Chain A
Amino acid sequence: MNALAASIESLGAKLVGWFTVGYGIFAFLARALLLLIEPATWNRATFDVVIKQVYFTAVQILHVFLGYALVISWLIISIIVTTARDFGLAEFASEMTIRVLVLELLPFLTALFIALRSGSAINTEVALMQVNNELDALAHCKVPPMQFEFLPRLIGGVISVITLAGLAGLLALAMGYLAIHGAGTAGFDSYTRTIANIFDFTIVAGLLAKCALFGLAVTLIPVTAGLETPKKLFMVPVSVLRGMMRVFFAIFAIEVVSLALKYI
């Protein structure tokens, strides 16, 4: 009886913990959004930090990322096209390729890529700043951390995921055309028709929204996880671990919800 009560209690504690974390994340997001619509936020300094953030998150890794997208796209396109031909469904190969790669897999992989590279770094940085009381010092010097540290990271993350996923998607479209129709303009009309059929307004809007949510998830969650860190140095790895697990669950949840909205 005690064990049951204890397990119920621990479940309740976990639920409360998740709720607190969720509330913290959304409250932080609300504050960031409120700040975003304030004209005072948009000064040269903030803009510079945003550019720096985009540079570190997207531009610095562009060649690595595009190479990785090229390889994964080529592999998956080859598999889909060969299988479709084997089953006599070649006419559906291009649609299948575009749907699988451009709409689902590449945004997801982009989000994971940025989460692993930038999200973990942001989480560690924020946690260390928190532990070393740097954030309080910044606030004391009239440099509000929300405006100059956190908001640029969120904006940079969103921009980076959207552009990188878009570039990877365009690359995959080109590769798909090459794999299915070869070099030449013969298949251009039918490929255009397929693209036109797939990318209607809701799909494009959904894709953009999904990428933006991915971008938010891979920056917002590490920031809040870092801010939660108790002021002890050994808690920094724990904070990064927790933050990255939450990022992974968030990306996963966004993907599942987007699929459910699209196909159910």
Chain B
Amino acid sequence: MNGMHFKVGLFALASLLLGAAFLVYLLHARGFFEDTFHLQLAAASADNVAPGVPVVFSGIEIGRVTTLGLNDNGGIVIHAEFMQRNARWLKENSSFTLDKPIVGGARIRVDSSDLDAPALPNHATMLLLSSDISKEIPVLVERVKAILANVEHLTRKDGEIVSTLANVQTMTGRMTGEYGVLEGVLGSPEKARAVTETLDKTRSLMTRLDGLALKMDGMAGKADQWLFAKDGVADSARASLRQIGVLLDDARSSLQKADALMANAVAISADVKEGTQDIAALRAEIDDAVRRANALVNEINKMWPFARDPEVKLP
């Protein structure tokens, strides 16, 4: 009997201890031993927000909406409560966004970009933004409706697209005619025929031009022969050049003679002072000889086919 009492006592003690431990754990988990942090959120609309909606930071729930109501100015005020240990994620530059996924319940997302920013004071009021996908759907539907209306307008019975398609049909119909695509583009078989005839004429013209070009080719060959063959124009030009070289040598010897004459004249002028008149006549003679030699050189230059003077360049 004592053994039975001991077992029952042990059972009761263990159960009580476990129960008490669980109770303490539960109270700790529910934040019974710490202060509650209060936050107020100002929102444009209370849609989808209800008591119990979680406030999440990085996907982890840190608080819940407790009440919501209207303030004196008719604005929505949402009260949320956080455990003190979770309140450190709420910063002065945190943004609060209401997320309403298509599947699942709404939640308020906290984004604290700068965790070094000063912490939010208790009972602070922040703005609640909304990123409601389901709200965008009606807008989207309106736009799709407008697009569909446009498409409908375009494809109506007497619409542009229908008449365009009719035109395309007549065009493709013509394309199946005798003159194919040409008839389709030009509109009638007569015009198409005119174009074909023109093309035929052009073709014969091209044949003739071809023959002409062949003839021209032959002529060019002959000209080549005439110019560069033995005893051709090039050879005779070379001979003329040789003769010109001889002429130049003559001119140079004449000038040397004139030079000697001048030297003699100087000597004579030293001896005979009264013979000045004769020297002047002699000088005129020499000048004349030099001028003629110059003219000769000029003449040669004009005849020279490879002269560097740009004025005598051949065309």
For B29-62 the 0/1 string (1 means CB < 8 A from A) is 1110000000000000000000000000000110
Q: Are B26 and A199 in contact (CB under 8 A)?
A: yes
Q: Is A83 at the interface (CB under 8 A from chain B)?
A: no
Chain A contacts with B in 177-234, Cβ cutoff 8 A: 190, 192-193, 195-197, 199-200, 204
Q: Which of the residues A59, A190, A192 comes within 8 Å of B8, measured between beta carbons?
A: A59
Describe A's contact surface by its main secondary structure. Answer: helix
Docked CA distance A92–B30 (Å): 19
Q: Which of the residues A54, A59, A170 comes within 8 Å of B18, measured between beta carbons?
A: A170
Q: Are A200 and B8 in contact (CB under 8 A)?
A: no
B37 to chain A, nearest CB (A): 16
Q: Are B8 and A166 in contact (CB under 8 A)?
A: no
Q: Are A196 and B15 in contact (CB under 8 A)?
A: no
B35 to chain A, nearest CB (A): 16
In the complex, chain A residues whose CB is within 8 Å of the CB of B18: 166-167, 170
Q: Are B11 and A196 in contact (CB under 8 A)?
A: no
For B70-107 the 0/1 string (1 means CB < 8 A from A) is 00000000000000000000000000000000000000
Q: Is A52 at the interface (CB under 8 A from chain B)?
A: yes
- With A166-B18, A170-B18 known as contacts, the answer to whether A55 contacts B29 (CB < 8 A) is no
Q: Are B7 and A59 in contact (CB under 8 A)?
A: yes
Q: Which of the residues B7, B11, B19, B60 comes within 8 Å of A190, measured between beta carbons?
A: B60
For B1-35 the 0/1 string (1 means CB < 8 A from A) is 00011011001100100110010011001110000
Q: Are A163 and B61 in contact (CB under 8 A)?
A: no
Q: Is A35 at the interface (CB under 8 A from chain B)?
A: no
For A43-78 the 0/1 string (1 means CB < 8 A from B) is 000000001101100110010000000000000000
User: Closest residue of chain A to B14, judged by CB?
Assistant: A167
Please report the total number of A residues contacting B with Cβ < 8 Å: 20
Q: Which of the residues B7, B22, B30, B60 comes within 8 Å of A55, measured between beta carbons?
A: B7
In the complex, chain B residues whose CB is within 8 Å of the CB of A51: 4-5, 8
Q: Are A62 and B26 in contact (CB under 8 A)?
A: no
Docked CA distance A58–B31 (Å): 34
- With A166-B18, A167-B18 known as contacts, the answer to whether A192 contacts B11 (CB < 8 A) is no
Q: Are A193 and B11 in contact (CB under 8 A)?
A: no
Docked CA distance A62–B8 (Å): 11
In the complex, chain B residues whose CB is within 8 Å of the CB of A199: 26, 29-30
A170 to chain B, nearest CB (A): 6
Q: Which of the residues A55, A163, A166 comes within 8 Å of B4, measured between beta carbons?
A: A55
Docked CA distance A199–B32 (Å): 13
* B contact residues, range: 10 to 19
In the complex, chain B residues whose CB is within 8 Å of the CB of A190: 60
In the complex, chain A residues whose CB is within 8 Å of the CB of B11: 54, 58-59, 62, 163
Q: Are A200 and B30 in contact (CB under 8 A)?
A: yes
User: Closest residue of chain A to B64, judged by CB?
Assistant: A197
User: Closest residue of chain A to B23, judged by CB?
Assistant: A204
In the complex, chain B residues whose CB is within 8 Å of the CB of A62: 11
Docked CA distance A197–B29 (Å): 9
- With A54-B8, A59-B7 known as contacts, the answer to whether A166 contacts B19 (CB < 8 A) is yes
Docked CA distance A170–B5 (Å): 24
A208 to chain B, nearest CB (A): 10
User: Closest residue of chain B to A196, judged by CB?
Assistant: B29
In the complex, chain B residues whose CB is within 8 Å of the CB of A193: 29, 60-61
In the complex, chain A residues whose CB is within 8 Å of the CB of B5: 51
User: Closest residue of chain A to B21, judged by CB?
Assistant: A170
User: Closest residue of chain B to A191, judged by CB?
Assistant: B29
Docked CA distance A195–B19 (Å): 15
Q: Are B29 and A195 in contact (CB under 8 A)?
A: yes
In the complex, chain B residues whose CB is within 8 Å of the CB of A204: 26
B25 to chain A, nearest CB (A): 8
User: Closest residue of chain A to B5, judged by CB?
Assistant: A51
Q: Which of the residues A54, A59, A195 comes within 8 Å of B26, measured between beta carbons?
A: A195
Docked CA distance A35–B11 (Å): 27
Docked CA distance A136–B18 (Å): 42
A177 to chain B, nearest CB (A): 12
Docked CA distance A162–B29 (Å): 23
A203 to chain B, nearest CB (A): 10
In the complex, chain A residues whose CB is within 8 Å of the CB of B29: 192-193, 195-196, 199
User: Closest residue of chain B to A166, judged by CB?
Assistant: B19
A128 to chain B, nearest CB (A): 23
Q: Could you jot down 27 A-B contacts, CB within 8 Å? A: A51-B5, A54-B11, A55-B7, A58-B11, A59-B4, A59-B7, A62-B11, A163-B11, A163-B15, A166-B18, A166-B19, A166-B22, A167-B15, A167-B18, A170-B18, A170-B22, A190-B60, A193-B29, A193-B60, A195-B25, A196-B29, A196-B30, A197-B61, A199-B26, A199-B29, A200-B30, A204-B26
Residues of B within 8 A of A (CB): 4-5, 7-8, 11-12, 15, 18-19, 22, 25-26, 29-31, 60-61
**16 extra interface residue pairs, beta carbon distance < 8 Å, beyond A190-B60, A193-B60, A196-B26:** A54-B11, A55-B4, A55-B8, A59-B4, A59-B8, A59-B11, A166-B15, A167-B15, A167-B18, A192-B29, A195-B25, A195-B26, A195-B29, A196-B30, A196-B31, A199-B29
